[in-house]
Amino acid sequence: MEVTRILAIRHGETAWNVGGRLQGHLDIPLNDTGRQQAQRLARALAGREALAAIYSSDLGRALDTAQALQSATGAPLTVRPALRERSFGDFQGQTFEQLSQAWPEAAERWRKRDPAWAPPGGGESLLTFQERVAQEVQALATQNIGNQIAIVTHGGVLDVLYRQAARLGLQDARTWQLTNTAVNRLLWSPEGGLGLVGWADVSHLEDASLDESTT
């Protein structure tokens, strides 16, 4: 059975990650920690993984992470806007505490992960978001049968992919991590679709030898 191996990677840390603010489609840059994480990730994968291609969201926090990986591995990089984070509409830039105060009813539907509900101001419902992500990743996997690729994207995208690979519903409680620059391994086949191989590998963040100052 021919398969596509996928390294699904969240972008490096941003100031809004630290502050608990919803980023969505807003183009928030990596902070210093995020840039260091991206460099560690790139050095680690360059030493142990063969990549046929790298695909990235067009938002800067993902693209900067992907460019570090491309520089280290030499794999071709393609920007794919469909790998963007979910659009949160008017909720973008807010913390959940702020949402609960300003939009209590909407915040409750958000908390309960109502699949059909979309944030006001042009946000995406979970169902619409899930369909976008699933179609995009299937297209990329189909183009790369027999190879390994990296997808550099966002926490929401990775959450959808985990649920799809583990055959979980959109409202099932999350028990898995979505760590910045963690390496998450998936397998795709035309017969079986997406499968889970390994999740949340952060060994490169713990390996001091991958610091730029020590190389």
Other residues' Cβ atoms within 10 Å of the Cβ of residue 71: 14
CA 181/CA 178 separation, integer angstroms: 9
Is 13 annotated as ligand-binding? yes
Both tokens of 40, joined, read: 């560690």
Is 10 annotated as ligand-binding? yes
Is 17 annotated as ligand-binding? yes
CA 187/CA 7 separation, integer angstroms: 9
Q: Is the torsion defined by CA of 79, 5, 115, 10 positive or negative?
A: negative
Is 61 annotated as ligand-binding? yes
Is 97 annotated as ligand-binding? no
Other residues' Cβ atoms within 10 Å of the Cβ of residue 36: 18
Burial 171-187 (b: 16+ CB within 10 A, else e): eeeeeeebbbbbbbbbb
Q: What is the DSSP string of 30-62?
A: B-HHHHHHHHHHHHHHHHH---SEEEE-SSHHH
Is 16 annotated as ligand-binding? yes
Query: Which position has the token pair 């570090």?
Result: 68
Is 111 annotated as ligand-binding? no
User: What are the residue numbers of the active site?
Assistant: 11, 85
Known binding-site residue numbers = 10-17, 61
